[in-house]
């Protein structure tokens, strides 16, 4: 079992629709969860972080975390063609206290295509 | 510098040669990470530095791979006796203290082993 799993896609949605991206992780002790966006030929960039159960909204993006189910998701409302990219889920296995932080493990990424 | 700087941006080498990849993190970032990304794949963790020490080297694929960091700043990833399967983009990232997972990535070094 991979430590962080995502459907590779591609996920295709029409412009204006909601895109739903999902991620599961295996380490129940994981503390922090992140979504990165990677455009083709570019490096990843952070778009959302979430640390506690529930929803976190930032503009058109909503991250959802369910630690009991070991599940993280990213919703993109009013999807735009410019949202077309690969979305990487990342999980930090280390604690964030006492200045200790562990390695960040990435999933394989889900390719999103938003059609005009 | 303004961002994470990596060099070289592209490196073509012959099988069996050694290569060095350099990363200059954002000033003040104490954590530094190396990842590898093969074509169409996700990010494979290689090694993580906190200051000059490497708490986690578990991702290094073999003893041909090594990395060091000096002065809490620049890091070098060395691959000895390169093999064709080493061909990939090597990404470096740094983060603010304490490591928060909010990584800032460089543009990567694309390595091609012929």
Which tokens in the block code for residue B14? 């012959």
Tens of pLDDT, residues B41-68: 889 999 988 888 887 788 899 999 999 9
- Is there a contact between B98 and A45 if contact means CB atoms under 8 Å apart? no
Q: Residue A71 belongs to what H/E stretch?
A: strand A71-76
**Who among B59, B98, B101 is closest to A49 (CB)?**
B101
CB count, 10 Å around CB of A5? 16
Q: How far apart are CA A28 and CA B81, in angstroms?
A: 38
Minimal CA separation from B100 to chain A, in Å? 7
CA torsion angle for B44, A80, A72, B107 (degrees, to 10)? Answer: 20
Tell me if A88 and B42 make a contact (CB, 8 A cut-off): yes
pLDDT over 60 (residue A96): no
pLDDT tens digits for range A101-111:
567 889 999 99
The chain A residues in contact with chain B (CB within 8 A) are: 32, 34, 36, 42-46, 49, 88, 90, 92, 94, 96, 99-109
Task: Kindly tell me if the per-residue pLDDT of A58 is higher than 90.
Answer: yes
């Amino acid at each position: 079992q991979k430590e962080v799993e995502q459907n590779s896609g591609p996920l295709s949605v029409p412009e204006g629709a909601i895109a739903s991206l999902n991620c599961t992780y295996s380490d129940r002790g994981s503390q922090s969860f992140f979504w990165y966006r990677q455009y083709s030929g570019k490096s990843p960039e952070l778009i959302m972080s979430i640390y506690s159960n529930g929803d976190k909204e930032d503009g058109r993006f909503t991250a959802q975390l369910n630690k009991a189910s070991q599940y993280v998701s990213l919703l993109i409302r009013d999807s735009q063609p410019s949202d077309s990219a690969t979305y990487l889920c990342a999980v930090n296995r280390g604690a964030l206290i006492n200045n200790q932080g562990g390695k960040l493990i990435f999933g394989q990424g889900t390719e999103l295509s938003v059609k005009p | 510098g303004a961002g994470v700087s990596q060099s070289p941006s592209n490196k073509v080498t012959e099988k069996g040669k050694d290569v060095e990849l350099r990363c200059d993190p954002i000033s003040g970032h104490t954590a530094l990470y190396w990842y590898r990304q093969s074509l169409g794949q996700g990010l494979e963790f290689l090694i993580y530095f906190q200051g000059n020490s490497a708490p986690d080297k578990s991702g290094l694929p073999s003893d041909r791979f090594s990395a060091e960091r000096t002065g809490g700043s620049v890091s070098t990833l060395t691959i000895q006796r390169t093999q064709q399967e080493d061909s990939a983009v090597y990404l470096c990232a740094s983060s603010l203290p304490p490591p928060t997972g909010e990584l800032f990535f460089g543009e990567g070094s694309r390595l091609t082993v012929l």
